[in-house]
Amino acid sequence: MRERGKAMTTLRVGIADHGEMKAWTMRVARGEEKVTEETPKVWFTSIESFARILSAGNRELLRVIDEKAPGSVGELAEMTGRAKSNLSRTLRKMAVYGLVRMDKGQGRRLVPRVAHDRVELDLWLTHGKRGSRS
DSSP code per residue over 60-129 = HHHHHHHHH--SSHHHHHHHHT--HHHHHHHHHHHHHTTSEEEEE-STT-EEEEE--SEEEEE--SS-TT
Distance CA 121, CA 114 (A): 18
In order of their start, the domains of the chain are 10-122 (1.10.10.10)
Amino acid identity of residue 61, one-letter, is L
At 123, the pLDDT band (50, 70, 90 cuts) reads confident
Tens of pLDDT, residue by residue over 9-57, are 999 999 988 898 899 899 999 999 999 988 999 999 999 999 999 999 9
